[in-house]
Amino acid sequence: MSNQPEKSIAVALLDALTSLKLAIVLLALLMVLVLACTLAQVDLGTHGAVERYMRSWLVWWRPDGASSSIPVLPGGTPVGGLLIVNLSAAQIRKLQLNWRKAGLWLIHIGLILLVAGEFVSAMLQVDARLTFEEGHSANYVERTRQYEVAVVDTSDPKFDDEFGIPESLLRDGATLTIPKTPLQVKVVAYMRNSELRNRADKDPKSNATAGVGPEITVQGLPPVTADDAQDTPSAYIDVLAGGSSKGVFLLSAGISAVQGFSHGGRTYRLDLRLRREYLPYSLTLKDFSHDVYPGTDIPKNFSSLVRLLHPERGEDRTVLIYMNQPLRYEGRTFYQASFGKNDTMSVLQVVQNPGWLMPYVSCTLVTLGLLIHFGLSLGRLQRRQVRTATAVGAT
């Protein structure tokens, strides 16, 4: 078929897509990206470097003194995506189904699963944190690097009614209606990162008209990339209750003062905070311990003794979470991550990743495949050597 003088464009494209050359070029590109991503971590931090080289379509570069950037390399997304297409298509098109190729099948299926698993993680993995002090309980986790504006009805002393507006909806000028309340909020301005200071006389008048905002000057900043740095987002929010404004509030992750208003006999609190997700169960920190090796400050162990209470399921038990020993519960995994307040506060990293098992499966498949493939090759090589030896012996 391929001997025909003019191949159809589709066949030519398929040939190119499944070619070994493309695989090699893509692997080489991936190496360049990985190397660049590694070296760039010195300046950009891991998160920044990964965003720039691995989780991008194109890698941009701005020559010194130039005003605009030019794309110099394809990013990790197209390279990884094409590699998976190349791998799958070549596997299906070229490799025969026979036992001699069993190892190659296992290797390549395992690799497809591995890369697919990474895509699943990149899309679906949710990272959060749970912070609690000894003797205290928590029934929510906080998303890392995601914020929300919360409107909390605190009228009932027994419970709070909370409504969170995720960052993605906080577009300048947007007006959002809070369900089951007569309230509407209008986003006057949202800044992903900012710096706050007490307003000086020469500063321009604040946009805020209510709460502590009028006394504060806000300067917008670009978002941070370093791994240990955190953004301080701020927002000017105009609250409309029953059609009339309650004033423009300045909300910020950098403001700890409680701000709020009353309307129709109910009291509301406003907050800009890390986005919360509530759990149908609660965790109580019974004890946090932090051991060091005698006479040193080398940490030997961190562990949180936690009471897990899930009323709906009638579960009430104690679990010990420590290094290399997370708690996996209802699709979330709780890891011992950090601590503070003189060893009385514990921070758990909470991860939801539906694809977490894929690397385990993939690793087993590929390793098995490599063993089978190289084992078979070695066997063939030895048979050939024996044959050569007998041939030499016969002459």
Q: Residue numbers of the site for another protein (CB under 8 A)?
A: 20-21, 23-24, 27-28, 30-31, 34-35, 37-39, 41-42, 45-46, 49-50, 54, 114, 117-118, 121, 125, 127, 292-296, 298-302, 323-324, 326, 333, 335, 337, 349-351, 353, 356, 359-360, 362-363, 366-367, 370-371, 374, 377-378, 381
Q: In the bound complex, what is the minimum distance in angstroms from residue 29's beta carbon to another protein? A: 10
Whether the CB-CB separation of 246 and 208 falls below 8 Å is answered with no
Q: In the bound complex, what is the minimum distance in angstroms from residue 387's beta carbon to another protein? A: 15
Q: In the bound complex, what is the minimum distance in angstroms from residue 97's beta carbon to another protein? A: 19
Alpha-carbon separation of residue 266 from 79, 125, 155, 216, 238 (angstroms): 55, 38, 5, 27, 18
Q: In the bound complex, what is the minimum distance in angstroms from residue 51's beta carbon to another protein? A: 10
Nearer to another protein, 234 or 362 (CB): 362
Nearer to another protein, 118 or 167 (CB): 118
Nearer to another protein, 164 or 359 (CB): 359
Residue with tokens 């002090």: 133
Nearer to another protein, 292 or 389 (CB): 292
HEC letters along 366-380 = HHHHHHHHHHHHHHH
Nearer to another protein, 156 or 291 (CB): 291
Q: In the bound complex, what is the minimum distance in angstroms from residue 294's beta carbon to another protein? A: 4
b/e per residue, 94-131, with b = 16+ CB within 10 A? eeeeeeebebbbbbbbbbbbbbebbebbeeeebebbbb
C-alpha 85/C-alpha 18 separation (Å) is: 8
User: Which of 255, 248, 259 is closest to 206 using CA atoms?
Assistant: 248
- DSSP symbol at 224: P
Nearer to another protein, 299 or 311 (CB): 299
Q: In the bound complex, what is the minimum distance in angstroms from residue 290's beta carbon to another protein? A: 9
User: Which of 141, 143, 198, 147 is closest to 169 using CA atoms?
Assistant: 147
